Amino acid sequence: EVQLVESGGGLVQSGGSLRLSCAASGFTFSNYVMHWVRQAPGKGLEYVSAISSNGGSTYYANFVKGRFTISRDNSENTLYLQMGSLRAEDMAVYYCARSPRTTRTFDYWGQGTLVTVSS
């Protein structure tokens, strides 16, 4: 069974940093592109970042470029999102999601981890 379990969320002051993790199991993690998608309280889904299966290519939405870093450890089956210079507008539930190998969609999502930014 495919499982994605996020952790690392919490309360952080504006300007602070946080590292999110997403532990994957039930599939060959190193074969899949992985993503972070966020959802502010009461709002819709917003695409944050992506990383290729071997970690060699990354993508960032403009609003996090230069502040967030996506990475992965294929030996530990774990995806990361290092978040820095956090702002109030970064407050959201952060989901990790998997793309299947044959098409562009998000076929499995984690349960999410909440990041709260205080001013």
Partner 1 sequence: QSVLTQPPSVSAAPGQKITISCSGSNSNIGNNYVSWYQQLPGTAPKLLIYENKKRPSGIPDRFSGSKSGTSATLGITGLQTGDEADYYCGTWDSSLSAVFGGGTKLTVL
Binding site for partner 1 (CB under 8 A): 35, 37, 44-47, 59, 61, 95, 103-112
CB atoms within 10 A of CB 18: 21
Please identify, using beta-carbon distances, which residue of 33 and 86 lies nearer to partner 1.
33
Minimum CB separation from partner 1 for residue 68, in Å? 14
**Cα dist from 14 to 85, 88, 119, whole Å:** 7, 7, 5
Minimum CB separation from partner 1 for residue 50, in Å? 8
Please identify, using beta-carbon distances, which residue of 104 and 119 lies nearer to partner 1.
104
**Cα dist from 110 to 7, 14, 62, 113, whole Å:** 10, 26, 23, 9
Minimum CB separation from partner 1 for residue 15, in Å? 26
The token pair at 86 is 């956090």
